[in-house]
């Protein structure tokens, strides 16, 4: 069975129809992971028992495959009577997984802030929340624009995992087409090409944005 | 607000430190420190490097915890259980050796941040107040700049303004001129003298002996985690009572 | 089945997981050094070609690469076993990332090191081999450890191309008995047992490196 280029071209529109889902999932995951990681990182820094627990949780998240985590969320939640739409499960799973990594990124960004900033905040008698939100977070974000952008691209590239839990993103769509026609080669390669171009383009965009940001921050 | 309870004729203690000890692990950085600073008094703390000056001043405003002994601010015990009352250490303001201004905020925002967060008034009122203070430290025209656009001396004056904007009852300085280029030291010292002359309670770690002579009511000399000598500046500089102080003075003067 | 029995059942797939990691590393490490060094040295068309190859391996989502190699390449007459596809794709994907660590480490070396080599009259290759690489490797180690963990975790994907690794074992067990909590927490635990020590080791190395930098 050779490769049928005409057929490959003909299914492009059908696969692209799933593109909005891919984007939606990506954006939701980026947002949720960024917020979750923020909470996790500052819990880890709280230093009490909760801090140690969070340290373990972050390391555990980073020590298990995303596929296993997705299966866990997808099959275990219904067991406890919590049946969520695959999309929600997918976003939840990916967000948790990447929050482990973003927490590390935040950590590096915070560690790079001079200790004197914390001292000054304390000397001004700011509350812990004010210190974090007004003093630390803005400076942290400035430090981590680049790695953060890279992880956002990673999240985009991780969306095909969701095909295994029946989220109708592009890879899932390709498999649907494949199982209708019994031809796998074409749909899969089409998705591959779309993803590679997407990843490259978005990585460039992120890099441009980053440079813009660095320039505007350079005072 | 709490000072009204005491007898007006008697000068009140702003800071009372008794038997305070501070450990870093095994190392005793402060050894049974006793020190009283009355309201309106200006105290200069000096001593060789590593003697515990920074540690002492940081204990006073709560940047460091201590293991034993007591610390009272205007008669109220600091630390411990607070029962909903604000920590008395909120009456302190601090100026650091390295300024520690917030680089992502303008000079004005640096100054108004704390009062804003403590709901001391409307934004307009606080801005106006901050501009007044910035005027006092002669840097009002830089209010909309960012710290990195200023020279070291200007930054330190902003840091002083930031501390003043909290309207603290006790001002703490930790070597405010040590990180400055020599030509900028005087502009900061001038501002500090001015602040001192306004009757603020000040505890100031510094090696600027000229400043100590000019404004200090007392000089506290520390060495190896202990207060070795407390004296009036004129006595301390002319006739130090201890050998350690004499040796120290021979090095800095 | 008891939780322990489930865990044992899952570990029946360990041999596959382990072999993919080992063979994958045999692809990843040489690729990383060859292409990282090539990218560091090359200019013009060669640089573009090298960069394109690296970008292909690291910018494509690894799941998709796996499927493309497994399902699409046969249509072009290239057929590989699932094991070859798994180890090759996972290995070179990891290698793509690692090559960037190699290049970055070489680039961040003090230029004086190179100049000192030239001053000693060493040939370029000798400078690379005995002066630049030994220093660069030290700063690569933390990244390499992280990528190693990525590779181990990535092997879970070979379960999607018919290989019976630990993840596939878990799914097989799930066919026989309905115990999602036991089976999938067992699966997570199985990977945790393998990867957690490496994660901790990585933290230790990183901490030591940054301490040395400070000292
Ligand atoms: N975070 C810390 N951990 C351990 N030891 C510390 C710490 N901070 C200070 N020390 C030690 O406590 C002692 C007192 O330090 P401190 O900073 O108070 O000295 P100092 O009098 O302010 O010196 P300098 O004039 O150099 O500022 C020093 O021996 C120092 O090494
Ligand atoms: Mg000091």
What pLDDT does A1 receive? 63
The reported pLDDT for the residue numbered B121 is 84
Q: Tokens 């798994």 belong to which residue? A: C86
Ligand 1 binding pocket mutation candidate from B46, B54, B57 (most atoms within 8 A of CB): B54
Question: Given this model, what pLDDT does residue B239 score?
Answer: 86
B34-77, pLDDT tens digit by residue? 998 998 899 999 999 889 999 999 999 889 988 888 888 887 87
- Joined tokens for residue C114: 């190179």
A20-32: average pLDDT: 95
Give partners of A (≥3 CB pairs < 8 A).
Answer: B, C
Query: Going by beta carbons, is chain B in contact with chain C, meaning 3 or more pairs sit under 8 Å apart?
Result: no
Which of C71, C160, C166, C193 would you mutate first to test chain A, the one with the most A CBs within 10 A?
A: C71
Query: In this model, does residue B4 exceed pLDDT 70?
Result: no
Helix (H, G, I), strand (E, B) or coil at A47: coil
Q: State yes or no: pLDDT of C150 exceeds 90.
A: yes
C-alpha B245 – ligand 2 centre gap (Å): 18
| Domain boundaries, position A78 | 5-218
CA distances A118 to A58, A135, A137, B101, C111, Å, are 24, 8, 12, 11, 36
Q: Is the pLDDT of residue B81 over 90?
A: no
Under the banding of pLDDT at 50, 70 and 90, the label for residue B208 is confident
Q: Compute the nearest-CA separation of A128 from chain B (Å).
A: 12
The per-residue pLDDT for C16 is 95
Tens of pLDDT, residue by residue over C171-185, are 999 999 999 999 999
ipTM, interface predicted TM-score of the complex: 0.91
Tell me what pLDDT residue B69 has.
Answer: 86
Is pLDDT of B3 > 50? Answer: no
C-alpha dist (Å) from residue A197 to A157, A188, A192, C83? 11, 14, 9, 27
pLDDT at B89 over 90: no
CB contacts, 8 Å: A5 with chain C: none
CB contact under 8 A, C60 and A72: no
Most confident of B136-140, B163-167, C73-77, C186-190: C186-190
Output the CA B249–ligand 1 centroid distance in Å.
20
Residue B211 predicted with pLDDT over 80: yes
Ligand 1 atom at shortest distance from the alpha carbon of B56: 18
Quick check: A1 contacting B, CB < 8 Å?
Answer: no
Of B50, B178, B222, which is best to mutate to test ligand 1, by the most ligand atoms within 8 angstroms of its C-beta?
Answer: B50
Ligand closest to the CA atom of residue B50? 1
* Exposure letters C187-205 (e unless 16+ CB within 10 A, then b): bbbbbbebbbeebeebeee
Q: Are C64 and A192 an interchain contact pair (Cβ–Cβ within 8 Å)?
A: yes
Chain B residue closest in CA terms to A115:
B100
What are B50's two structure tokens?
Answer: 């590593």
User: From CA A86, how far away is CA B237, in angstroms rounded?
Assistant: 79
Task: Single out the residue of A122, A214, A81 nearest to residue B102, CA to CA.
Answer: A122
Residue of A68, A191, A196 with shortest CB distance to C188: A68
What's the total number of domains in chain A?
A: 1
Collect all residues of chain A within an 8 Å Cβ-Cβ radius of residue B114. 124-126
B209-225 exposure pattern, b = at least 16 Cβ within 10 A, e = fewer: bebbeebbebbbbbbeb
The contacts of residue B187 (CB under 8 Å, 6+ apart) are B138, B153, B157
Question: Which residues are CB-neighbours of A112 under 8 A, at least 6 positions away?
Answer: A143
What chain C residue is nearest to A62 in terms of C-alpha separation? Answer: C199
Give the list of residues 6+ apart from residue B241 with CB closer than 8 angstroms, or none. Answer: B229, B231
CA-B48 nearest atom, ligand 1:
25
Q: Which pLDDT band, with edges at 50, 70 and 90, does B83 fall under?
A: low
Residue of C63, C101, C165 to mutate, testing the A interface (most A Cβ within 10 Å of its Cβ)? C63
CA dihedral (C91, C94, C99, C102) in degrees, to 10, reads -110
List Cβ<8 Å contacts ≥24 apart for B84-91.
B87/A125, B87/B62, B88/B2, B89/A125, B89/B60, B89/B61, B89/B62, B90/A125, B91/B168, B91/B169, B91/B170
Q: Could you tell me the pTM of the whole model?
A: 0.88
In whole angstroms, what is the distance from residue B219 CA to residue B233 CA?
A: 6
- Residues B143/B134, Cβ–Cβ less than 8 Å: yes
Could you tell me the pLDDT band of residue C14, with boundaries at 50, 70 and 90? very high
Mean pLDDT of chain B: 87
Answer for the pair B106, B183: CB distance below 8 angstroms, yes or no.
no
Mean pLDDT of all residues in A180-196: 90
Tokens of B135: 């005027």
- Rounded to whole angstroms, the Cα distance separating A202 from A191 reads 16
Q: How far apart are CA A213 and CA B82, in angstroms?
A: 44
The CATH number of the domain where C200 resides is what?
1.10.3720.10
Check residue B1 and give its pLDDT. 43
Structure tokens at C198: 């490496």
From the alpha carbon of B55, which atom of ligand 1 is closest? 18
- CATH number, position A69: 1.10.3720.10
Cβ atoms of residues A196 and A154 within 8 Å: no
The total of structural domains in chain C comes to 1
CA distance A182 to A164: 18
Q: Which residue out of B102, B112, B115, B159 would a mutagenesis test of the A interface target, given it has the greatest number of A Cβ atoms within 10 Å?
A: B102
Task: Nearest chain A residue to B167 by CA: give it.
Answer: A124
Domain span holding position C63: 3-214
Please compute Rg for chain B using Cα positions. Answer: 18
CA distances B247 to B47, B97, B221, B251, C206, Å, are 10, 25, 12, 7, 45
Q: In this predicted model, what pLDDT tens digit does every residue of A101-117 receive, in sequence order?
A: 999 999 999 999 999 99
Given this model, what pLDDT does residue C118 score? 86
Label residue B189 left, alpha or beta by phi (over 0 means left) and psi (-120 to 50 means alpha).
alpha
CB-CB neighbors (< 8 A) of C153 in chain A: 63-66
Whether A114 and chain B come into contact, CB under 8 Å, resolves to yes
Strands B27-38 and B13-24: antiparallel
Determine the residue of chain B that is closest to A128 in CA distance.
B117
The answer to whether B73 and B19 have CB atoms below 8 angstroms apart is no
Helix (H, G, I), strand (E, B) or coil at A204: helix
Q: Which of A3-7, A137-141, B142-146 has the lowest mean pLDDT?
A: A3-7
Query: Per-residue pLDDT tens for C105-148?
Result: 998 888 888 888 888 888 888 888 888 888 889 889 999 999 99
Contacts of B89 in chain A (CB under 8 A): 125
Instruction: Give me the residue from C61, C188, C199 closest to A157, CB to CB.
Output: C61
* Residue B204 Cα to ligand 2 middle (Å): 11
- What's the pLDDT tens digit per position in C57-103? 999 999 999 999 999 998 898 999 999 999 999 999 999 999 999 99
């Amino acid at each position: 069975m050779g490769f049928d280029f005409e057929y490959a071209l003909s299914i492009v529109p059908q696969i692209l129809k799933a593109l909005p889902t891919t984007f939606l999932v990506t954006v939701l995951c980026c947002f949720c992971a960024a917020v979750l990681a923020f909470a996790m990182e500052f819990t880890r820094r709280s230093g009490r028992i909760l801090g140690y627990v969070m340290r373990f949780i972050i390391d555990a998240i980073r020590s298990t495959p995303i596929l296993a985590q997705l299966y866990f969320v997808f099959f275990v939640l219904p067991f406890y009577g919590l049946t969520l739409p695959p999309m929600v499960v997918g976003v939840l799973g990916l967000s948790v997984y990447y929050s482990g990594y973003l927490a590390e990124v935040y950590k590096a960004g915070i560690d790079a802030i001079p200790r004197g900033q914390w001292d000054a905040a304390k000397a001004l008698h700011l509350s812990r929340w004010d210190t974090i939100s007004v003093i630390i977070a803005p400076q942290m974000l400035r430090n981590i624009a680049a790695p953060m952008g890279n992880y956002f691209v990673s999240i985009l590239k991780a969306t095909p995992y969701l095909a295994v839990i029946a989220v109708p993103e592009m890879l899932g769509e390709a498999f649907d087409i494949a199982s209708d026609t019994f031809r796998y080669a074409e749909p899969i390669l089409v998705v591959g090409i779309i993803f590679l171009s997407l990843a490259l383009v978005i990585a460039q965009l992120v890099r441009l944005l980053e440079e813009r940001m660095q320039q505007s921050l350079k005072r | 607000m709490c000072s009204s309870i005491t007898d007006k004729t008697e000068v009140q203690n702003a800071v009372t430190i008794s038997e305070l000890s501070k450990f870093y692990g095994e190392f005793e950085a402060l050894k049974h420190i006793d020190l009283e600073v009355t309201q309106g008094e200006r105290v200069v703390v000096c001593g060789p490097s590593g003697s515990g000056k920074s540690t002492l001043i940081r204990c006073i405003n709560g940047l460091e915890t201590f293991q034993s002994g007591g610390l009272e601010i205007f008669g109220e015990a600091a630390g411990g259980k607070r029962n909903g009352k604000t920590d008395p250490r909120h009456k302190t303001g601090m100026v650091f050796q390295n300024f520690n201004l917030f680089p992502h905020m303008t000079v004005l925002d640096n100054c108004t941040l704390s009062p804003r967060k403590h709901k001391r008034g409307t934004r307009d009122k606080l801005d106006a107040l901050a501009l007044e203070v910035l005027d006092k430290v002669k840097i009002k025209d830089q209010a909309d700049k960012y710290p990195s656009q200023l020279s070291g001396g200007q930054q330190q004056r902003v840091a002083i303004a930031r501390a003043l904007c909290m309207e603290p009852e006790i001002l703490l300085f930790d070597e405010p001129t040590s990180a400055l280029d020599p030509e900028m030291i005087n502009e900061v010292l001038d501002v500090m003298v001015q602040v001192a002359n306004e009757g603020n309670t000040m505890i100031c770690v510094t090696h600027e002996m000229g400043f100590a002579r000019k404004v200090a009511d007392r000089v506290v000399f520390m060495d190896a985690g202990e207060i070795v000598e407390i004296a009036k500046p004129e006595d301390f500089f002319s006739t130090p009572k201890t050998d350690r102080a004499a040796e120290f003075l021979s090095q800095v003067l | 089945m008891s939780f322990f029995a489930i865990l044992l059942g899952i570990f029946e797939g360990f041999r596959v997981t382990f072999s993919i990691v080992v063979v994958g590393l045999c692809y990843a490490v040489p690729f990383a050094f060859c292409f990282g060094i090539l990218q560091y040295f090359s200019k013009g068309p060669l640089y573009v070609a090298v960069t394109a190859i690296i970008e292909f391996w690291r910018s494509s989502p690894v799941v998709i690469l796996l499927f493309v190699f497994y399902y699409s390449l046969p249509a072009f007459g290239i057929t590989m076993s699932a094991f070859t596809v798994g180890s090759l794709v996972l290995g070179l994907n990891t290698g793509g990332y690692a090559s960037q660590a190699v290049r970055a480490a070489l680039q961040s070396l003090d230029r004086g090191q190179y100049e000192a080599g030239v001053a000693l009259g060493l040939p370029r290759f000798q400078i690379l081999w005995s002066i630049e690489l030994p220093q660069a490797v030290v700063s690569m180690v933390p990244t390499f450890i992280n990528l190693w963990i990525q590779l181990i975790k990535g092997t879970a994907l070979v379960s999607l191309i018919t290989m019976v690794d630990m993840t596939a074992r878990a799914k097989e067990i799930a066919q026989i008995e309905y115990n999602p909590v036991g089976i999938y927490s067992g699966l997570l635990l199985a990977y945790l047992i393998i990867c957690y020590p490496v994660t901790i080791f990585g933290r230790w190395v990183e901490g030591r490196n940054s301490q040395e930098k400070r000292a």
